[in-house]
Amino acid sequence: MSKGTVVLAYSGGLDTSCILVWLQEQGYDVITYLANIGQDEDFEAARKKAESLGAKKMFIEDLQAEFVEQFIWPAVQANAIYEDRYLLGSSLARPCIARRQVQIARQEGAQFVSHGATGKGNDQIRFELTCYALYPEVQVIAPWRIPEFYSRFKGRDDLMKYAQEKGIPVPVSPKAPWSMDANLMHISYEAGILENPKTHRPSDLYLMTKNPEDSPNTPDVLEVEFLKGVPVKVTHLKEGRALDTPLQIFSYLNQIGGKHGVGRIDIVENRYIGMKSRGLYETPGGTILYHAHLDIETFTMDREVRRIKQGLGVKLSELIYYGYWFSPEFSFLQHCIEKSQEHVEGNVQISVFKGHVYVLGRQELTCELVSMNVQGDYDPGDASGFIKVNAVRLKEYHRLQGNAQPKN
């Protein structure tokens, strides 16, 4: 008798294929689920493989549009960036993928969900916090945290051997000596030979962006139009090409950014689990949008609102990285940030060239939206009073310190 039904996040690769078979071995019925969030994948081959390995059903779900509109756009509004550098490509995809997984689990009456994420990483947390939030009664089977599984499969060789025994097709091309995670927003590279933080990356690592040394010698100049803090239109100023749906806009920015080698970073980051980890990322379109949004936001937003919103954005970025998309604090922060974007509206002109994004100019949407200089009654003399009142505390402090006498 079956122990119940598991919805397994299935990639078609060796690991999750072995998990698919292993779960059946443990007595579960398995439904496989593969999200299309823009990665380069032969989805039909994956379907056939899953079915041939005993999956009761295989769901292939195109989440690209909702990934852009419901996950990437809020990140753009927040200028979301983890530890000042990472644009959160993987972190944003996880709640999008896991949300659909528990929808399928509910719809199919499955009590279990499973995934192939490792036991030391962030992805397990992002996946499972989403599952627990949206389907509190669900039980998660994480084989890489189950001793019977991970002590049986100590390395890739054990998986290969198991695959051969069970008739699981094995990859023909050798595996790259690192792991990758790809989606519409980015590709990440980590582990293996990249784990050592001092090792320079192989020159042919990146797949989504050109090496700036080989990229075109002429910039592309784009105009991005924002309404309420999200891009609504991108125009190539020279070619006149314009795009205006979220998925088209983002894909086009990926294409231009990729062509010019934009968005490559090599960082050591702090995982939620308490370790440090080295990662390399390429986020072409996201990087362009980050710069364009920062520009239009600072241009159109009051200084003090910006100060407060900046702090909220730092917090939101941390929540995204840690996996708290579906949390009360995230909902609250996102509501606040959306409010702050009400008047973030206008065009930014940018030049993309040799791995870098240059802002050339910006314009508010409504002519009178922003005045750069104060009309009317600003009297230069007022500044004297302003400065003197602000100096009151400083004078007192230096008097008390007895160091009003400047020291070198």
Distance of closest approach, residue 110 Cβ to its own copies, in angstroms = 14
Q: Spot the catalytic one: 29, 123, 181, 220.
A: 123
Does 99 contact its own copies by CB under 8 A? yes
Stretch that binds its own copies, among 48-56, 168-176, 177-185, 400-408 (CB under 8 A): 400-408
Beta strand 112-114 pairing with 57-62: unpaired
Binding its own copies by CB under 8 A: which of 278, 285, 287, 345?
Answer: 278
Q: For residue 306, give both structure tokens.
A: 């910006």
The interface with its own copies within residues 313-372 (CB under 8 A) comprises 314-315, 318, 324, 326-329, 332-333, 335-336, 339-340, 343, 349, 353-356, 358-363, 368-372
Q: How many helical (H) and strand (E) elements, i.e. helices and strands, does the chain have?
A: 13, 14
Instruction: Give catalytic status of residue 40 as yes or no.
Output: no
Taking the complex as a whole, the smallest distance from the CB of residue 51 to its own copies amounts, in Å, to 26
* Catalytic residue of the set 15, 29, 181, 295: 15
Confirm or reject binding of residue 376 to its own copies (CB under 8 A).
yes
Pairing of strands 230-236, 139-141: unpaired
Phi, psi angles (nearest 5°) of residue 113 = -125, 155
Residue 153 carries which DSSP code?
-
Kindly state the tokens that stand for 333. 């922060």
Q: How far is the CB of 395 from its own copies (least distance, A)?
A: 4
Q: Which of residues 105-164 bind its own copies (CB under 8 A)?
A: 106, 118-120, 124-125, 128-129, 132-137, 140, 142, 144-147, 150
Q: What is residue 137's three-state secondary structure?
A: coil
Number of residues that bind its own copies (CB under 8 A): 131
Specify whether the CB–CB gap between 117 and 16 falls below 8 A.
no
Site for its own copies in 11-50 (CB under 8 A): none
Looking at residue 202, the DSSP 8-state letter turns out to be: P
Please pick, from the candidates 41, 66, 69, 158, the single residue that binds its own copies as defined by CB under 8 A: 66
Q: Which of 85, 152, 156, 241 binds its own copies (CB under 8 A)?
A: 85
Q: Is 94 a catalytic residue?
A: yes
As measured in angstroms, the least distance from the Cβ of 397 to its own copies is: 4
Which residues, at least 6 apart from 172, have a Cβ–Cβ distance to it below 8 Å? Answer: none
Nearer to its own copies, 186 or 278 (CB): 278
Q: Which of 106, 145, 179, 251 is catalytic?
A: 179
Least separation in angstroms between residue 182's CB and its own copies is 21
Is 123 annotated as catalytic? yes
Candidate list 155, 167, 240, 406; residue touching its own copies; CB under 8 A: 406
Residue 122's CB is within 10 A of a number of other CB atoms, namely 20
To the query of whether residue 52 is one of the catalytic residues in this protein, the response is no
- Rounded-to-10 torsion of CA 313, 319, 320, 323: 180
Contact string (CB under 8 A) for its own copies, positions 165-204, x = contact: ------------------------------xxxxxxx---
Nearer to its own copies, 39 or 103 (CB): 103
Q: Of 146, 184, 159, 226, which Cα lies nearest the Cα of 39?
A: 184
- Rounded CA-CA distance 250/233 in Å is 10
Q: Is 35 helix (H, G, I), strand (E, B) or coil?
A: strand
List, in sequence order, every residue forming a beta bridge with 265; answer none if it has no partner: 281
How far is residue 78's CA from residue 73's CA, in Å, rounded to a whole number? 9
Catalytic entry in 94, 264, 278, 362 = 94
185, 93 Cβ separation under 8 angstroms: yes
Which amino acids are annotated catalytic? 15, 94, 123, 179
